[in-house]
């Protein structure tokens, strides 16, 4: 039996019993502000029903009571809220079921009295009442508890989980603000949803404070969800976004600072919040309908559900259509889980793209490494070939500048001797060739630095003998070269440069006088070879022969440039300045220094093996 006809009478906060007068007929469900707009306090509701057999148990189900209540059956208390005065208990979210039995029940007329404590700003009143078979009413009670209790708890849990999960994703990837706004809207939604689960306004001391914060959270949720939809659609509306955030921040501030003013006027905030939320959803659905992107159409399908549910719930609340249950209790979790799935799918797609990019990058790196290895192998082969070629060129130059010059001098000396010359002259020539070959071997295999004065002394001794045979007076001047030590390769290059210069004088100059200068200067050694021969055209000589080019190459290896000063008929001067790697100490005056010109002395007998 559904009881819809009742009587109501208002009373003060301290009323412990129903008033004797002032009862008016009402129809349940009832909101008392329709007849008492400014009444804050207590309203008593009285209902009667006929019980034919008091021995048969009867169930009593009250759909909802707003805000706190005490329920009496035949004068006996069967239910009482924890707080019937501020802060009022919040009994409106759930139904109330009581099993009635004898002796509480009477045969015939039974009276139900409900004391409702409420505030005019929050739709105070009472829902429909049913009495009848306990099994049927208990099943109905279980269904309503699932819809209005368990589903709200599930919705709240999903909000918390989504806020945590996508909040962590945003913290790890700050540039994806899409996840940040969804996490923030879920967090505010969870705080807003607690209103449908809480049984008291704790931690606030009044219903006004609770409702003020509740309305502010509704606006914050709408603003953050709107920004999430804009980010998902890849739209940027800076002015609209700043305006939404400013309004949300101001409402939160007003809810905390002005609860007594904002609480009773919570509809001034909640209605705009609803309009913002549904306008954003409708706009997103329209945008997705015009777009060809599948990732926009899928969440748009999920967002149609809250629009349909909102229309239905508003029609039920205004009694335009019959019904007692609200669809939002069912559609909200489905919509939230659907959008979460879409976001998770989008994240997985992005990760697959990253994995594909990484695989492609690894492949390209492997190909590049292979190409680099092949290039390095080619470079190494070219380097080995170049090194071999360089060694061959150096060997040719050493043979040309040293051994070749000695051989030329020997041939010239033997040709100058009469056929009956003693055999000892040929032996001396062979010894000179042996000494020159030894010089090549020692200079290329010796690991230690060699003293420049010792190297020059040997070369000077051998060249003087050859110049004397050719009728050329030679003069050597060595100033301060004692103590200068050169690496084996540099020492050989210097000797070969001097040998080639002396060979050119002997072979081409037709000179009668030769001057050789080695002088230690600041940080270098100055080397000059000059003669009074016929001279030559420098440009023509450099392009025609290998001697000058070989001397220039050796000068470059010594770290200097070769200078050639020659004019036909006026002699030749060749010089260079060899930079010293480390400045040696200033030596004592050289024993070979001096300006005297003397004929070359016979070389002492050479000893040792080549």
| Exposure on the CB side of residue 496, measured as CA atoms within 13 A | 33
Q: Examine residue 603 and state whether it is found in any structural domain, yes or no.
A: no
Q: What is the dihedral of CA 100, 103, 104, 109, to 10 degrees?
A: 100
Query: Please, are residues 103 and 64 in contact by the beta-carbon 8 Å criterion?
Result: no
Cα angle, residue 7 at apex, residues 6 and 10 outer, rounded to 5°: 140
Residue 474 has pLDDT above 50, yes or no: yes
On whether residue 391 sits in a domain, the answer given is no
Q: What is the pLDDT of residues 229-287, one digit of tens each?
A: 999 888 989 999 999 999 999 999 999 999 999 999 999 999 999 999 999 999 999 99
Q: Beta-carbon neighbour count of residue 603 at 10 Å? A: 15
Whether 346 and 241 share a structural domain: yes
Flag the least confident range among 47-51, 64-68, 77-81, 340-344: 340-344
Same domain, 172 and 302: yes
pTM above 0.85, yes or no: no
Whether 589 is in a domain gets the answer: no
Q: Which among 243, 309, 242 has a CA at the least distance from the CA of 274?
A: 309
* Among 205-214, 217-226, 536-545, 601-610, the least confident range: 601-610
Supply the pLDDT for residue 247.
95
The answer to whether the CB of 69 falls within 8 A of the CB of 81 is yes
Q: Are 198 and 90 in contact (CB under 8 A)?
A: yes
The answer to whether residue 377 sits within a structural domain is: no
Residue 508: DSSP 8-state: I
Taking only the tens place, the pLDDT of each residue in 71-117 is 999 999 999 999 999 999 998 888 999 999 988 999 999 999 999 99
Instruction: Examine the domain organization and report whether 244 and 220 are in the same domain.
Output: yes
Asked if the model's pLDDT at residue 132 lies above 90, the reply is yes
**Contacts of residue 517, Cβ cutoff 8 Å, sequence gap at least 6:** 477, 479, 526, 527, 528, 529, 530
Q: How far apart are CA 143 and CA 69, in angstroms?
A: 22
Domain termination residue (choose one: 132, 157, 178): 132
CATH of the domain at 104: 2.60.120.260
Q: Establish if 538 belongs to a structural domain.
A: yes
Q: Which two tokens stand for residue 349?
A: 């797609």
How would residue 529 be classed by pLDDT, with cut points 50, 70 and 90? very high
Reported confidence tier of residue 155, pLDDT bands at 50, 70, 90: confident
pLDDT tens figures, 181-192: 999 999 999 999
Phi, psi of 309 (to 5 degrees): -65, -40
Count of structural domains within the chain: 3
Residues 292, 245, single domain; the answer is yes
Q: What is the pLDDT of residues 29-44, one digit of tens each?
A: 899 999 999 999 999 9
Position 240 in a domain = yes
Same domain, 55 and 189: no
pLDDT attached to residue 601:
37
pLDDT band at 451 (very low <50, low <70, confident <90, very high): confident
- Position of tokens 């450099």? 542
The pLDDT assigned to 599 comes to 38
Same domain, 171 and 112: no
The enclosing H or E element of 97 equals strand 96-100
Report pLDDT for 435: 61
For residues 470 and 542, membership in a common domain is answered with yes
- Domain identity same for 320 and 468: no
Residues 63 and 176 placed together within one structural domain of the fold: no
Q: With b meaning 16 or more CB within 10 Å and e meaning fewer, what string describes 373-409? A: eeeeeeeeeeeeeeeeeeeeebeebbbbbbbbbbbeb
pLDDT for the residue 419: 61
pLDDT over 80 at 406, yes or no: no
Separation CA 208–CA 12 (nearest Å):
19
| Range of the structural domain that residue 330 is part of | 143-353
Predicted confidence at residue 1, as pLDDT, reads: 85
Q: In this structure, is residue 397 part of a structural domain?
A: no
Q: Is residue 367 part of a domain?
A: no
Q: Which residue has the tokens 């420049």?
A: 452
Same-domain status, 148 and 283: yes
First to last CA, the chain: 134
């Amino acid at each position: 039996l559904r009881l819809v006809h009742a009587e109501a009478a208002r009373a003060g906060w301290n009323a412990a019993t129903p008033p004797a007068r002032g009862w008016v007929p009402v129809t349940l469900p009832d909101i008392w502000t329709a007849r008492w707009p400014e009444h804050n306090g207590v309203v008593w509701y009285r209902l009667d029903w006929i019980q034919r057999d008091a021995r048969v148990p009867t169930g009593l189900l009250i759909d909802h009571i707003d805000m706190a209540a005490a329920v009496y059956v035949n004068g006996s208390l069967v239910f009482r809220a924890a707080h019937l005065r501020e802060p009022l208990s919040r009994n409106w979210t759930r139904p109330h079921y009581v099993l009635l039995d004898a002796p509480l029940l009477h045969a015939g007329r039974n009276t139900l009295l409900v004391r409702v404590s409420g505030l005019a700003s929050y739709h105070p009143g009472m829902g429909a009442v049913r009495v009848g078979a306990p099994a049927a009413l208990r099943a109905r009670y279980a269904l309503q508890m699932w819809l209005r209790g368990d589903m709200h708890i599930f919705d709240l849990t999903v909000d918390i989980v989504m806020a945590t999960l996508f909040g962590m994703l945003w913290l790890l990837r700050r540039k994806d603000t899409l996840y940040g706004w969804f996490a923030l809207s879920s967090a505010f939604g969870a705080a807003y949803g607690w209103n449908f689960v809480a049984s008291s306004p704790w931690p606030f001391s009044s219903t006004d404070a609770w409702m003020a914060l509740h309305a502010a959270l509704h606006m914050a949720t709408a603003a953050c969800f709107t920004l999430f939809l804009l980010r998902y659609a890849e739209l940027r509306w800076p002015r609209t976004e700043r305006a939404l955030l400013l309004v949300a921040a101001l409402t939160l501030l007003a809810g905390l600072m002005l609860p007594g003013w904002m609480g009773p006027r919570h509809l001034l905030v909640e209605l705009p919040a609803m309009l913002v939320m549904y306008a954003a959803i409708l706009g997103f659905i329209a945008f997705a309908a015009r777009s060809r992107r599948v990732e926009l159409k899928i969440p748009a399908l999920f967002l149609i559900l809250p629009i349909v549910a909102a229309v239905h719930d508003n029609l039920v609340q205004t009694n335009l259509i019959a019904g007692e249950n609200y669809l939002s209790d069912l559609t909200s979790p489905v919509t939230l889980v659907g959008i979460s799935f879409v976001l998770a799918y989008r994240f997985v797609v992005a990760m697959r793209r990253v994995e594909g990019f990484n695989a492609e990058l690894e492949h390209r790196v492997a190909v590049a490494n292979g190409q680099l290895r092949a290039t390095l192998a080619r470079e190494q082969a070219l380097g080995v070939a170049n090194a071999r070629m360089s060694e061959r060129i150096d060997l040719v130059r050493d043979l040309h500048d040293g051994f070749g010059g000695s051989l030329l001098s020997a041939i010239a000396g033997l040709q100058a001797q009469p056929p009956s010359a003693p055999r000892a002259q040929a032996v001396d020539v062979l010894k000179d060739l042996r000494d020159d070959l030894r010089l090549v071997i020692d200079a290329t295999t010796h690991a230690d630095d060699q003293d420049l004065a010792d190297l020059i002394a040997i070369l000077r001794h051998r060249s003087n003998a050859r110049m004397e045979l050719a009728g050329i007076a030679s003069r050597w001047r060595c100033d301060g070269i004692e103590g200068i030590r050169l690496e084996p390769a540099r020492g050989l290059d210097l000797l070969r440069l001097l040998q080639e210069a002396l060979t050119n004088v002997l072979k081409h100059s037709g000179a009668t006088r030769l001057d050789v200068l080695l002088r230690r200067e600041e940080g270098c050694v100055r080397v000059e070879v000059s003669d009074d021969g016929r001279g030559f055209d420098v440009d023509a000589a450099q392009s025609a022969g290998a001697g000058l080019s070989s001397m220039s190459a050796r000068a470059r290896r010594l770290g200097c440039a070769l200078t050639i000063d020659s004019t036909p008929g006026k002699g030749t001067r060749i010089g260079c300045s060899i930079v010293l790697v480390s400045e040696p100490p200033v030596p004592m005056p050289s024993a070979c220094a001096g300006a005297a010109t003397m004929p070359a002395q016979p070389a002492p007998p050479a000893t040792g093996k080549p």
